[in-house]
Structure 1
Amino acid sequence: MDMGDAPAWAALVVSIGAAAVSLKSRGDGRRAADAAETSVEEARRSSDAAERSAAVAEETLADQRREAAERRAAEEEANRPRALLRIEHANKAKWQLVNHGTGPAQNVECVDDVEAMHRNWPSGLSLLPGEVYDFMMAGSMQAPIPSVIRVRWEGQNDPVPLRVPPRIG
């Protein structure tokens, strides 16, 4: 090749340019591949975060549903009809067992042995809401009228102390 061969020199310059472009493209390809890998990794992290977020949302929803169910159950229990028994003095030796509640009291029984009571309450005594049962109780030195009578009824396993009010007249 001689120094005067212009097409050869032009071919050399073009091939050097092509090599430079090729090297530059190769570097750009590497950067593009690195960017693609970074993008894939970020997408994977984003996907993991979305899964964690969805799991937390599901747990929160489950907790809210459980709390709502517990609240409904508590409201139903609070609104359930219940017997509310009280002892009231009618006159002289006449006393009354009154159901002031919203539910019936079935099989009411006096747990205490009250000597001042003239007759024990009948077996299977039941009082509907607002219903009254009259009984006789007269105190003496040997058998005073108690200040509390304990009673039990269906659904009420533990005896409930009922205050005996002071006698009127």
Structure 2
Amino acid sequence: MDWGDIPAWAAFGLSGAALLVAWKARGDGKRSADAAEASAAEARRSSDASERSATAAEASLALQQQEADARQAAEAEAARPRVRLALHWHRGQIFHLVNEGSAPAENLQLLTISDDASPLEPLTRLGVGEGAEFLIMTGLAGGAPTTLEFIWDGQEEPVRLRIPRSG
């Protein structure tokens, strides 16, 4: 063996060792890159889940706000003063129309009872707890009506009241 071959063999051995180290480093680098890629994918999934959760939370909050607004509107509507009319028999053919509500009835009007009858003159105001006396006349042939319909300012849809039996 020639002493000149020893450095060549040493270089060959070192290059083989360097090749093994490089091969191992490549495998470690690939595993590290794969782990980084998996971590990035997990981060994207987590970010997407966070966005979905935030969107769901916003929708839930909006729904809760709508429900609270609807509840508040319903409470305000329930607390709003209202006219509540009642018919009470007094004696004979005399009846009392009473406002048992919590708001006055302005321009109270009795609608026609039949096609050939005309409505009565409007009652300007029937305050809370106030009553108006009126007479229901019956003809011999026609008989008495069983209901009366009223409207007033703010109440365009007729309110039908059953006429109570006398006596």
Amino acid at match of 2:49: A
- Distance, in Å, in 2 between the alignment partners of 1:131 and 1:121 is 19
For structure 2, the residue ranges without an aligned partner over 5 or more in a row are none
Identify the residue that residue 149 of structure 2 maps to in structure 1.
Answer: 150
Structure 2 distance, partners of 1:113, 1:67, is 43
Identity between Structure 1 and Structure 2 (%): 45
Deviations 1:79-99 (A, max 9, x none): 211111111111223211001
Residues of 1 paired with 2:141 and 2:11: CA distance?
Answer: 137
Q: Secondary structure at the match of 1:74?
A: helix
CA RMSD, 1 decimal: 2.4
CA contact (8 A) 2:89 2:95 kept: yes
Residue 22 of structure 2 is matched in structure 1 by 22
- Answering whether residue 104 of structure 2 is matched by residue 104 of structure 1, we say yes
Q: 2-side partners of 1:17 and 1:143: how far apart? A: 123
CA contact (8 A) 1:104 1:128 kept: yes
Summarize the Cα distance change of 1:5–1:140 in structure 2 as closer, same or farther, 3 Å threshold. closer
- The 3-state SS of whatever aligns with 2:82 is coil
Q: State the 1:137 CA deviation.
A: 2.9
- Summarize deviations over 1:11-67 as a string: whole Å, max 9, x none: 443332222112111221122112112211221121112112211211111111112
**Partner of 2:48 in structure 1?**
48
8 A contact 1:85–1:100 mirrored in 2: yes
C-alpha distance in structure 2 between counterparts of 1:23 and 1:105, whole Å = 97
State the match for 1:133 in structure 2.
132
Q: Does 1:159 align with 2:158?
A: yes
- Displacement of 1:145 after TM fit? 2.9
TM-score, normalising length: structure 1: 0.83
**C-alpha separation between the residues in 1 aligned to 2:109 and 2:165?**
22
